[in-house]
Amino acid sequence: MNCNELRAGQTLVCERCGLELKVVNECTNDSCSVGCTGDMDCCGEPMKLKE
Ligand SMILES: [Zn+2]
């Protein structure tokens, strides 16, 4: 899950500690993924999309 795949209103959650991050503004820079490859981590594990 790269930053430019996240859409406004989506929420990322850490299943370990319960931290939730909500997307308020989308990343609109297609070349941004060069510097943002990989998952966003919390507690050493990738954060997941909250349904
Ligand atoms: Zn965490």
23 CA distance to ligand 1 centroid (A)? 17
Domain regions of the chain by residue span: 1-51
To the question of domain 1-51 being in CATH 3.40.50.720, the answer is no
34 CA distance to ligand 1 centroid (A)? 25
Q: pLDDT per position in the chain (51 positions), as tens?
A: 778 888 999 999 999 999 999 999 998 887 776 667 677 889 999 999 997
Whether this prediction's pTM lies above 0.85 is answered by no
17 CA distance to ligand 1 centroid (A)? 4
35: part of which helix (H) or strand (E)?
A: none
6 CA distance to ligand 1 centroid (A)? 19
Count of C-beta atoms within a 10 Å radius of residue 7 = 10
Strands 48-49 and 11-13: antiparallel
Q: Are 32 and 1 in contact (CB under 8 A)?
A: no
Long-range pairs of 23-31 with CB within 8 A, sequence gap ≥ 24? 27/3, 28/4, 29/4, 30/4
